[in-house]
Amino acid sequence: MIARVWTGRVRAEQADAYLAYLKETGLPHCRHTPGNRGVSILCRIADGAAEFVFTSRWDSWDAIRAFAGPEPEQAVYYPEDRAFLLELDPHVRHFEVLVDESA
């Protein structure tokens, strides 16, 4: 299994609105793509910003390409991301999942 990790920052006061936006865009896009094994969204507030970590888990590189397109290292952004995000990092990171346990 492969974990795809994206990070982004918004102003702290926009954290709730951005989470709602992620639940309307990236979350269902991932979950409805065949080969997706789940999504985690993490957030921390520090120095006036909310940092989000969006981790999706995938069966294969082919599944990731079905979600992200032919260049899986590129981030996927949605129309309102520019209104929220402090910067748009063009890249994501991928990791081999060695252990995946839930509570």
pLDDT tens for each residue of 55-94: 999 999 999 999 999 999 999 999 999 999 999 999 999 9
Domains detected in the chain: 2-96 (3.30.70.100)
Instruction: Determine which helix (DSSP H) or strand (DSSP E) holds 94, and give its type and residue range.
Output: strand 93-96
pLDDT tens, position by position, 4-22: 999 999 999 999 999 999 9
Residue 93 forms beta bridges with which residues? 5
CA distance 81 to 47: 21
